[in-house]
Amino acid sequence: MAVKVCKFGGTSMADGTVMNQVKKIIEGDKDRRYIVVSAPGKRYSGDIKITDVLYECHKEVKESGSCGAAFALIRNRFTSIIKELNIDFDINAVLDETEARINAEKSEDFTASRGEYLSARVMAEVLGAKFVDAEDVVFFDENGAYDAARSDRAINEALRGVDKAVFPGFYGKDVHGKVKTFSRGGSDISGAIVARAVNASVYENWTDVSGFLACDPHIVGSPRRIKALSYKELRELSYMGANVLHSESIFPVRKANIPIHIKNTFRPEDEGTLILPSIYYKPSGSIVTGIAGKKHFTVIFIEKSLMNSQIGFVRKVLSVLEEHNIPVEHIPSGIDTMSVVIESAALQDGKLGLVLSDIKAAVAPDTLRVTEDIALIATVGHGMSSSVGTSARLFKAMADAKINVKMIDQGSSELNIIVGVNDDDCDKCIAAIYREFFG
Q: Which residues bind ligand ASP (CB under 6 A)?
A: 10, 38-39, 49, 51, 115, 169-170, 184-188
Residue 109 CB, nearest approach to ligand ASP (Å): 11
> Alpha carbon 33 to chain centroid distance?
24
- Estimate the crossing angle of helix 50-64 against helix 91-105, to 10 degrees: 50
Residue 116 CB, nearest approach to ligand ASP (Å): 6
The pairs formed by 240-244 with CB atoms below 8 angstroms and a separation of 24 or more are: 240/292, 240/293, 240/294, 240/376, 240/377, 240/378, 240/380, 241/216, 241/292, 241/293, 241/294, 242/212, 242/215, 242/216, 242/290, 242/292, 243/185, 244/207, 244/209, 244/211, 244/212, 244/273
Nearer to ligand ASP, 187 or 230 (CB): 187
Q: Are strands 228-230 and 273-276 parallel, antiparallel or unpaired?
A: parallel
Nearer to ligand ASP, 172 or 185 (CB): 185
Residue 53 CB, nearest approach to ligand ASP (Å): 10
Nearer to ligand ASP, 151 or 230 (CB): 151
Return d(Cα 40, Cα 117) in angstroms, integer.
Answer: 11
Angle at 105 between CA 99 and CA 106, to 5 degrees: 90
Residue 186 CB, nearest approach to ligand ASP (Å): 5
Nearest to 403, CA basis, from 417, 383, 424: 424
For residue 139, give Cα distances in angstroms to 36, 118, 143, 154, 183.
16, 20, 11, 9, 15
Q: Residue 148 is inside which H or E element, if any?
A: helix 148-159
Nearer to ligand ASP, 185 or 272 (CB): 185
Residue 219 CB, nearest approach to ligand ASP (Å): 24
- Output phi, psi for 191, to 5 deg: -60, -45
Q: Are strands 202-207 and 260-264 parallel, antiparallel or unpaired?
A: parallel
Residue 334 CB, nearest approach to ligand ASP (Å): 41
Nearer to ligand ASP, 52 or 373 (CB): 52
Residue 146 CB, nearest approach to ligand ASP (Å): 15
- Output phi, psi for 385, to 5 deg: -70, -30
Q: Which residue is nearest to ligand ASP (CB)?
A: 187
Nearer to ligand ASP, 42 or 316 (CB): 42
- HSE of 345, CA atoms in CB hemisphere, 13 A: 4
Q: Which amino acid is present at 121?
A: R
Q: Residue 46 pairs with which residues in a beta bridge?
A: none
Dihedral sign computed on CA atoms, order 300, 302, 307, 308: positive
Nearer to ligand ASP, 169 or 420 (CB): 169
Q: Which amino acid is present at 279?
A: I
Nearer to ligand ASP, 192 or 291 (CB): 192
Nearer to ligand ASP, 209 or 341 (CB): 209
Residue 223 CB, nearest approach to ligand ASP (Å): 24
Residue 113 CB, nearest approach to ligand ASP (Å): 9
